[in-house]
Every structure is written in C-alpha cells, then in structure tokens.
Amino acid sequence: MTRPDDGSSALTQLGRHTPAPNNPEDAVLERVPAPYPGKNYLVRFTAPEFTSLCPVTGQPDFAHIVIDYVPDQWIVESKSLKLFLTSFRNHGAFHEACSVQIATTLVDLLSPVWLRIGAYWYPRGGIPIDVFWQTGAPPADVWIPSQDVPTYRGRG
C-alpha cells in the first residue's frame, strides 16, 4: 500500500544535513499542504533565542519571537522556518525591520487566513523594543491564546 503524498516529497531540507544560511535572502522557506484546509486552527511557533545584528554597531540583538497563524492551504515546514530564523544571526537590521520581514515573508509564502508576530526584543541602551504586526482581524471561530511574554523585567 502506498502512502498518499503529504507534500513532503518536494521538501529539500527536511531529513537532510542543511547548513544554516548566511542571511535571510539565502534562506529557503518551504511549505506543505495544510492537513485540514477549510478548518480554522491556530499554529504557534516560539523562538525564545532569536538573534540578529544591529545594522549600525554590528552588536548582537536578542529577541523572543512568537508567530501565530491560521493556515489556509499551506503550512510552513518547521525545519525551514528554523533555518530562516537562524539566518538573521548575521543579518544587520533594526528590530522593526527584522520583525516585519519575518511576518511578511511567511504571509507571502503561505497566504494564511491570519498571521501575527510578537517580537519581544531585549533591551540595548536600557530600552526594550517590542514589535507587533498582524494581517488583520483574527477569525472569530479560532481560539487565539495570549502570547504571555511579560513586558521586560528580565524576561523569562
């Protein structure tokens, strides 16, 4: 008996040794068909150790990133998302640019019903910068839990 193709046969990174890309432009985000198209459910990814570089000083910036989305026809393949997020480690951009680039890249790839990002940046110069973005109002029939990342008090 043959297993129906779940879309994983087209993936180029899952199950293979894949070095981390040097920057987001070189990263390959992959998708597979959503297992329940037409049903609204929430998918959450949390990256508590996200890093990028300050575009002016080259110093590292750290963030706790939470991505919530309601799939339509596609879901993101998680290894490719991890590699995409890792690619920011050598990328110089302000907090706002990194945060919105992550979200809009996922929207362009997946065309989700809804997506939001909460990017909780650790302070540099004594001020944390938190960046929030979403595609619009969330669907009424989906349970969307709060992101529960505390405002800065030594996050964690």
pLDDT for res 93: 95
* Dist. CA 32–CA 151, nearest whole Å: 35
Residue 23 lies in a domain: no
Q: Which residues constitute the domain of residue 71?
A: 37-134
Burial readout 74-83 (b: 16 or more C-beta within 10 A, e: otherwise): bbbbeebbbb
Confirm or deny that 30 is annotated as ligand binding: no
Q: What is the mean pLDDT of residues 139-154?
A: 84
Residue 17 lies in a domain: no
Residue 151 lies in a domain: no
pLDDT for res 127: 84
Residue 154 lies in a domain: no
Name residues whose C-beta falls within 8 Å of residue 86's C-beta, 6 or more positions apart in sequence.
20, 21
DSSP tally for the chain: helices H, then strands E: 2, 6
Q: What is the mean pLDDT of residues 134-146?
A: 96
Question: Into how many domains does the chain fold?
Answer: 1
Confirm or deny that 76 is annotated as ligand binding: yes
Confirm or deny that 142 is annotated as ligand binding: no
Residue 112 lies in a domain: yes
CATH code (residue 64): 3.30.1130.10
Residue 26 lies in a domain: no
Q: What is the mean pLDDT of residues 7-29?
A: 73
> CA angle, 58 as apex, 54 and 62 as ends, to 5°?
50
The string of DSSP codes covering 1-28 is: -PPPP-SGGG-SSTTS--PPPSSTTT--
Residue 46 lies in a domain: yes
Residue 149 lies in a domain: no
Reading the block at residue 57, the tokens are 């000083």
Among residues 149, 47, 147, the alpha carbon closest in space to that of 98 is found at 47
Please identify every residue annotated as catalytic: 54, 61
* Dist. CA 34–CA 130, nearest whole Å: 30
The pTM of the full predicted model, rounded to 2 decimals, is: 0.87
- Of 11-25, 33-47, 137-151, which one has max mean pLDDT? 33-47
